[in-house]
């Protein structure tokens, strides 16, 4: 059983850290009361029986969980250390950065109220969390850390750097229905010849052989395919170094039926021969 505990000041990036671990096959839960840690672990172990996957769990512990009582967590922590492979990661940031993050998110600090300013709440929280900081195996200052840098640090600390490999997700869509918000890259293929204007091809999609034959014989289509391939191939390693779980590449045409589907299918087939797992999704064909 591998157990990671993420703690630290509010606004320091604990949610990002938990999401990074979740993307690496950890079963994650945030703000779990101390009394429920053991039942949660027992559930994880039971759920993992009969599978080949290692049992990994991550728990977010913060000032809301502790309720001003760190002693109960200290006792539980020492017992967990004896029973499981346990790593405690503590995140923090300087006061100016935490105040800025709260200002941007417009969220309320868990210790602030009508009589306690944000600055005072941060100071109180840091004092209350001091025992956890002293127990931490890893301490990270996220004041000047990007999301991807934080993800990398957490995964490295958890010993999962060589874990789950980045997957490339290709997807087709129609511009008239909106651009996919999750896309890292969007390629517009509306400039290519359009099978929609061929009566026999109109009811078909880019998955069908007549449409692919029609598009493949056009030199602009071939040039577009080669250029996109070259771009992706050149930059994939750099994105993989950021320890991403996915690189999402969206291909768009007008209606998401012919050109984008054909191009996404062909790109997926090409990159399946490479070193990264490939997934494929056609939004407008669902």
Q: Which of 67-81, 238-252, 270-284 has the lowest mean pLDDT?
A: 67-81
pLDDT band for position 48 (cuts 50, 70, 90)? low
CA distance 278 to 184: 15
Span 253-282, mean pLDDT?
94
Superfamily of domain 2-157: P-loop containing nucleotide triphosphate hydrolases (3.40.50.300)
Q: Give the model confidence (pLDDT) of 23-34 as tens digits.
A: 888 889 998 888
Span 221-231, mean pLDDT?
97
- pLDDT greater at residue 161 or residue 132: 132
Per-residue confidence (pLDDT) for residue 49, from 0 to 100: 47
Span 159-176, mean pLDDT?
78
Sequence-separated (6 or more) residues with CB below 8 Å from residue 236: 168, 247, 276
Per-residue confidence (pLDDT) for residue 156, from 0 to 100: 79
Per-residue confidence (pLDDT) for residue 227, from 0 to 100: 98
Q: Which of 58-62, 82-86, 188-192, 193-197 has the lowest mean pLDDT?
A: 82-86
pLDDT band for position 254 (cuts 50, 70, 90)? very high
CA distance 82 to 3: 12
Per-residue confidence (pLDDT) for residue 194, from 0 to 100: 97
Per-residue confidence (pLDDT) for residue 86, from 0 to 100: 86
pLDDT surpassing 50 at residue 50: no
Q: Which of 43-52, 108-117, 152-161, 239-248 has the lowest mean pLDDT?
A: 43-52
Per-residue confidence (pLDDT) for residue 285, from 0 to 100: 92
pLDDT surpassing 70 at residue 35: yes
Q: Give the model confidence (pLDDT) of 56-106 as tens digits.
A: 899 998 887 776 566 777 788 888 888 888 889 999 999 999 899 888 888
CA distance 157 to 136: 11
The tokens for 38 are 């053991």
Buried b (16+ CB within 10 A) or exposed e, 20-30: bbebbebbbbb
CA distance 256 to 160: 38
pTM: 0.57
Q: Is the CB of residue 28 less than 8 Å from the CB of residue 22?
A: yes
Side-chain-facing half-sphere of 2: CA atoms under 13 Å: 15
Q: Which of 92-106, 205-219, 257-271 has the lowest mean pLDDT?
A: 92-106
Segments making up each domain of the chain, as ranges: 2-157, 167-285
pLDDT surpassing 90 at residue 246: no
pLDDT band for position 51 (cuts 50, 70, 90)? low
| pLDDT cut 70: percent of the chain above it | 92
pLDDT band for position 146 (cuts 50, 70, 90)? confident
**Phi, psi of 28, rounded to the nearest 5 degrees:** -115, 145
**Distance in angstroms between the alpha carbons of the first and the last residue of the chain:** 39
């Amino acid at each position: 059983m591998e157990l990671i505990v993420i703690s630290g000041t509010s606004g320091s990036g604990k949610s990002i850290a938990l999401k990074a671990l979740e993307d690496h096959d950890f079963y994650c839960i945030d703000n779990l009361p101390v009394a429920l840690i053991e039942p949660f672990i027992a559930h994880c172990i039971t759920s993992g029986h009969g599978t080949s996957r290692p049992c990994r769990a991550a728990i977010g512990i913060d000032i809301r969980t502790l309720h001003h009582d760190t002693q109960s967590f200290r006792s539980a922590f020492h017992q967990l250390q004896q029973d499981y492979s346990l790593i405690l990661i503590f995140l923090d940031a300087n006061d100016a950065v935490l105040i800025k993050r709260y200002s941007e998110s417009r969220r309320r600090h868990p210790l602030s109220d009508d009589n306690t300013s944000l600055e005072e709440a941060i100071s109180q929280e840091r004092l209350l969390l001091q025992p956890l900081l002293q127990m931490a195996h890893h301490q990270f200052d996220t004041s000047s850390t990007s999301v991807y840098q934080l993800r990398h640090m957490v995964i490295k600390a958890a010993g999962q750097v060589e874990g789950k490999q980045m997957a490339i997700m290709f997807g087709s869509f129609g511009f008239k229905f909106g651009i996919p918000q999750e896309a890292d890259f969007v390629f517009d293929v509306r400039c290519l010849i359009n099978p929609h204007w061929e009566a026999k091809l109109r009811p078909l999609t880019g998955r069908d052989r007549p449409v692919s034959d029609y598009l493949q014989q056009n030199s602009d289509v071939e040039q577009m395919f080669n250029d996109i391939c070259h771009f992706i191939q050149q930059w994939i390693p750099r994105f993989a170094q950021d320890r991403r779980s996915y690189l999402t590449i969206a291909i768009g045409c007008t209606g998401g039926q012919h050109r984008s589907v054909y191009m996404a299918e062909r790109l997926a087939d090409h990159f399946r021969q490479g070193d990264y797992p490939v997934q494929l999704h056609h939004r407008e064909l669902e």
